[in-house]
Structure 1
């Protein structure tokens, strides 16, 4: 059987052309593979702090996700909470690309998933300029997406966006906390600063080029080292580059002892994770909000790093990672 699984996460971008390519790629994935048939969640779980009284008893719900570790984990969390609350749950996580999962929610082939505000605003809704206030960005997406039959529940502070990382050993010397700190170092001591980036990020207006302008960060061609994205983290960890492009929730950040520099001028788009629900499903089961709001309040960037590391560094199964964390947090219990 031809596999629909891919390994790359959706690129974060504010450029309409790249967003269009993402949409077309996702639609091609749908045409070639279709929505996975899924499998029933058979976990024997009971309500903990969530799901008392089993408010979803008798409901049949389908959860979905994109096909990168973080989003799979989040999709599994939704499914497990629904299961503990009494629902029969079909697991259709790990769909190829963003558009496959998005279309499943819009069409009602799936009922719930975690989506990212920046992805919706830029890729699905077609805006070029992000809103650099997380609550206003979420509210704008929520309001616009009503027309597509999608309900956005309150977002988490988990923000899967770009930044620069530095290994902690080097940072004991330079004490960088923000991208403004890095820019100041590049101006004062250019020979100390080298930056590892993947090829696309190096030339994008919403990548390194735009960041340099926003922060007045002078970097010569010799200071910029271009490479495959997967190598950047290890190069920064061993000090081959002082700084490196990172996703802020990547599990390798903690595993390789990297510090992340705060985007203090709010240059990069915000990608806060929030539950999205098919509108007809939410109308029938409004109690979903009370089940998922506490989960979103607990999720943050550090938690995401820890959970992602369990999958991407330690090789654990995303479903088991999600389940054990929910049990540890007291959201659900073993049956």
Structure 2
């Protein structure tokens, strides 16, 4: 009975998520009115937190009515929501991802080139404004337990070379054959291979490392479980992984209709560090607080980032 109920609820969730993107918008979204601002959020913790942060800022500083289109399944889906005029703001977009997946541009590691290309092309091709980074990047990061790092004097990814042939490491399922910044390119740049590489679902990586079933894992830099499991991230000393700086993106149409939104979004530029994003994610994923509660507390703690409105 419970199994059938879960299946029914999962199917209902898919329908609810896809309705606004397939031509039949959810009530209150497509015909949202002149004062409603629709914020697209993917189904990750940090996306949902930042969606509520943006909504809280809009509610605090303007007379507009923010609403969130939540649990979108991918960056492509949230992008198409903006492109098809079914959303106005994307809560987080990562420039390194957008460079290759949305713009189909050549893989690039130089942060300045990535930023310039993505900002320019989103404006010219899609009439969307790519804001400056919140202050964090959600990128791949090699992680070990602190005791393991201390025992083997590990600070950088290069330090793993002496141990690599005997190491068992966990990676997410797409990284092993990923082009540009996947395992083949990693072996070439760093000059070593791991003894055993086990692809698995991202959620299992942290548990496996914590239970000493892995020597190291390739996780995500902003994941709340980094703090939850007290893991040590090793420095990518060869800058192998490209920049994945997180930013808000808004359609030029909504910024023209409501110019005050530009100032509101600019207040968040540089205000959310990597450590801060880890802590916010931790509060949701480990402490089981609601993303909206975490976002509202964060805004109140920082007085809604007063003093910046350019």
Tell me if both proteins adopt one fold, taking TM over 0.5 as the criterion.
yes
* 1:89 corresponds to: 66
Note the 1:170-185 alignment, pairs <5 A. 170-185=148-163
Distance 1:216 1:121 in 2: 27
1:307 to 277, 280, 283: 280
Shift of 1:248: 0.9
* 1:18 corresponds to: none
Is 1:257 paired with 2:230? yes
SS of match in other structure, 1:298 = coil
Moved more, 82-91 or 248-257: 82-91
Shift of 1:252: 0.5
Contact conserved, 1:5 with 1:96, CA < 8 A, in 2? no
Shift of 1:332: 6.8
Contact conserved, 2:41 with 2:68, CA < 8 A, in 1? no
Distance 2:173 2:120 in 1: 35
Shift of 1:5: 5.0
* 2:188 corresponds to: 213
Note the 1:108-123 alignment, pairs <5 A. 108-113=85-90, 114-123=92-101
Contact conserved, 2:19 with 2:26, CA < 8 A, in 1? no
1:256-312 superposed Cα distances (whole Å, 9 cap, x missing partner): 010111222222232111111111111233332322223231112211111111122
* 2:259 corresponds to: 286
Is 1:100 paired with 2:107? no
* 2:291 corresponds to: 318
Distance 2:39 2:19 in 1: 22
Q: 1:180 to 1:38 in 2, by over 3 A?
A: farther
Q: 1:97 to 1:38 in 2, by over 3 A?
A: farther
SS of match in other structure, 1:245 = strand
Q: 1:5 to 1:259 in 2, by over 3 A?
A: farther
Distance 1:323 1:306 in 2: 14
Distance 1:228 1:96 in 2: 16
* 1:71 corresponds to: 47
Q: 1:115 to 1:265 in 2, by over 3 A?
A: same
- In structure 1, list runs of 5 or more residues that go unmatched: 7-25, 40-57
SS of match in other structure, 1:94 = strand
- In structure 2, list runs of 5 or more residues that go unmatched: 1-8
Shift of 1:194: 2.3
* 1:23 corresponds to: none
Shift of 1:325: 0.8
Distance 2:19 2:70 in 1: 18
Distance 2:38 2:20 in 1: 20
Distance 2:49 2:113 in 1: 26
* 2:208 corresponds to: 235
Distance 1:178 1:287 in 2: 44
Contact conserved, 1:162 with 1:246, CA < 8 A, in 2? yes
Shift of 1:142: 0.8
TM-score normalised by the chain length of structure 2: 0.84
Q: 1:166 to 1:35 in 2, by over 3 A?
A: farther
Contact conserved, 1:29 with 1:100, CA < 8 A, in 2? no
Is 1:152 paired with 2:161? no
RMSD between aligned residues: 2.6
